[in-house]
Each structure stands twice: as structure tokens, then as C-alpha cells.
Amino acid sequence: MAGSVFGNIFKVTTWGESHGPALGAVVDGCPAGLPIDEDYIQKFLDRRKPGQSEFSTKRNEADKVNILSGVFEGKTTGTPISLVIYNNSQISKDYSNIAECYRPGHADYTFDQKYGFRDYRGGGRSSGRETAGRVAAGAIAVKLLGEFGVEFTTYVESVADISIDYSRFDKSEISKNMLYMPDKTAAEEAAEYLKNLSADKDSSGATVKCVISGVPSGLGDPVFDKLDARLASAIMSIGAVKSFEVGNGKLASKLKGSENNDEFYSENGEVRKRTNNSGGILGGISDGSDIILTAAFKPTPSIYKAQNTVNSKNENISLEIKGRHDPIIAPRAVVVVETMAAIVLADALIMNCGSRVDNLKKIYDR
């Protein structure tokens, strides 16, 4: 299978299946000397792991990470960092009824068309559990970016039609509710909505917002490797994401140029913007203001309602899905969006070292 490697210099490979013995990631290209340990990475995995609330799958995985290589005495060595997370709560028999049929909204049919064979246990490689490896690797990227003052604020902005009210925005509230919403009132309304939805054996879509501050200007490359194009590739590679926006996103298509343009001004010898409609990226290159990303997640396709589908013999059948599934994907995906964005920015940061001669002189001049 191709397509399991992401990045140019800071490069991440994920591996493993939902119901296999383990899954994980390999990070190559991380500079030596970065302080990192399992406890730090575990904090990110704990934000993603299942079984934490009534709005996540009841699969009880500890998602305990082990660093197998690339770290010595608490610092990266510059060699590949291998990370493993063992699966301990697989119930593969829950999926025996879908071995020969295609679940609506899932990758079952397309995997069969591409490979002629698939791991039907929990979706195998196409399972959302694959993102555990991304989060473990992305935690290292977040740590690297933190050395340069880059910070992330990531949260659920809306659940179905219930959106946060920015006049009530409270960053501290994000970690206080099960839905990772920075608005207590909206979180309570969304929780009630999801309870009713779960009782009706259904699921909900949502949006996740990621605001990245402290990103230096000049990251990204014009044409095919624009920073927003790389971020789009990273975020859209998350299985349930169906759309991606930077800054005003699709709203820009409804505005006039005079409304959407960000005017520049000078303050204390530095160039600044009066607004940030561009979301911190101009011409595919970071402009020094906050990078603002939005990802839209589809409803969880695994619902307990009876659905019409076909089997591998092209027979029409009715299917009721079993197993343990999230009624909403976004809360556990908040950290996935964050870490995937971090992988892109860490890669761009390292690549930017060779963009100018004076940058190289800073490294090699004695």
C-alpha cells in the first residue's frame, strides 16, 4: 500500500490496523537534541483515546505509547523515532457480519475495488484508529514548534447546527467539557442534542477550528507546495474530513475585495495586518499572523439504524452495524487536526532553512 508517508524532511510514516496487534508511527528528520519522552506524547494520545465519554466509542484502549528508537537520555538523537501503541481491546467478532458486505459511508467497497481483499475488522487500515500513530508523531512536531514559540488552540466550533458564540469564548472551557467546545452553553446544547441523536441510533457531523499563533513569516513555498495546500493535504487525509478552509474560506467567495483584503500597517518597525481574513497565509507563504484552519467532519458512518446496502455478490441486503462507535467524530479528532497541522509546519520550518543564503550562513559561518 502506498500513501502512508507524509512530509519532505520531517517525515512521518504510520502503520498498523485497527484490530491488529499494534499500530504506530516512525518519525524521520527530527533534529537531534529535542527534549521528548513518553509522558509528553501520552498527553496528546489521552486527548484522542476512546472510552472517555458517552460521546465516544466504548472501546477501552489505554493507547499507551512506547518509544522504541531515536531518543536517548530524554533527547532526540537525529535518527528515526519509532513509536508503538499496542491494541488491547479488540472484539473482532463484532465485525463478522460485515465481512461480505459493504457498510454505507465506509471504505469497504473502495478497498475491495482497489485491492480485491480487505481487513474487515473495524475497517483495518481505513479505521479512525490509524490516527493514533499520527497523534503520537505529531506530538513531537508540536514540541519542536514550541521551541520557537508556536502555540495551538484547537476546538470544536460547531456540532450540527449548534455553533459556539464567540462573545462567550472561553479557552479554559475547551478541556472542561466532553465536546472540547470553548463555550459552555453551546457545549450543553450540543450534548443534549447528541443524547437524543444516540437514542435514535444516529450520528452527527461537526467542525473543528485550529488557531496557530507564533508562526514566523516566510514558511511555505509558492506554486505546488503552498503552505495552505500542504495543510489541506494533511487535514483532508484525516478519514472523516470532507472540507477544509483557511481564514474566511468559502465566505471569501461572497465578499468584495475591499471587504476580504487585509490592510497592512507598520508598527515599531514591523509589518502587521489590521484584519486576518487570509488566515495567516498569503501566496502560499505564512505572513506572521495567526494561521486559522477549519475542518468539517462528516457524521460517523457506523450507525445502529438498519441501512440498505449490497454484499460482495452484488445482492441487495439490509444491514445493522454492531460494534462500538463514536456518535460524533470531532471531539476525539481535535488533537488529530492539531498534530497534523504541526507536522506540516515543522516540516516547513526545517525546509525554510535552505531558502536563503543568509540562513545558511547563520548555520555554517564560524
Angle between helix 330-351 and 227-236 (nearest 10): 150
Q: How confident is the model at residue 206 (pLDDT cuts 50, 70, 90)?
A: very high
Query: Looking at domain 5-364, what is its CATH homologous superfamily?
Result: Chorismate synthase AroC (3.60.150.10)
Residue 95: the pLDDT is: 59
Q: Which positions ≥6 away from 42 have C-beta within 8 Å?
A: 64, 65
Domain ranges of the chain: 5-364
Can you give the pTM of this predicted structure? 0.92
**Statement: residue 325 has pLDDT above 80:** no
| Backbone φ/ψ region at 70: left (φ over 0), alpha (ψ -120 to 50), beta | left
Cβ(81)–Cβ(351) under 8 Å?
Answer: no
> When comparing pLDDT for 362 and 51, which is higher?
362
- Alpha-carbon gap, residue 122 to 94, rounded angstroms: 8
Rounded mean pLDDT of the chain? 91
Residue 306: the pLDDT is: 87
> When comparing pLDDT for 352 and 365, which is higher?
352
What is the identity of the amino acid at 134?
R
Burial of 131 (0-12, 13-18, 19+ CB in 10 A): buried
Residue 263: the pLDDT is: 97
* C-alpha cell recorded at residue 13: 510514516
Render pLDDT for 147-187 as a digit per residue (tens, 0 to 9).
Answer: 999 999 999 999 999 999 999 999 999 999 999 999 999 99
Backbone angles phi, psi at 296, to 5 degrees: -100, 125
Residue 109: the pLDDT is: 87
**Statement: residue 278 has pLDDT above 80:** yes
Render pLDDT for 334-362 as a digit per residue (tens, 0 to 9).
Answer: 999 999 999 999 999 999 999 999 989 98
The gap from C-alpha 359 to its chain's centroid, in whole angstroms, comes to 31
- Alpha-carbon gap, residue 49 to 281, rounded angstroms: 32
> When comparing pLDDT for 302 and 34, which is higher?
34
Q: How confident is the model at residue 122 (pLDDT cuts 50, 70, 90)?
A: low
Instruction: Label the pairing between strands 291-297 and 206-213.
Output: antiparallel
**Statement: residue 99 has pLDDT above 80:** no
* C-alpha cell recorded at residue 81: 523515532
Burial of 307 (0-12, 13-18, 19+ CB in 10 A): middle
Coil, strand, or helix at residue 316?
A: strand
- Helix/strand number for the chain, H first, E second: 8, 18
**Residue 217 burial (CB count, 10 A):** 14
Q: How confident is the model at residue 303 (pLDDT cuts 50, 70, 90)?
A: confident
Alpha-helical (H) ranges within 147-285 are: 184-199, 227-236, 257-260
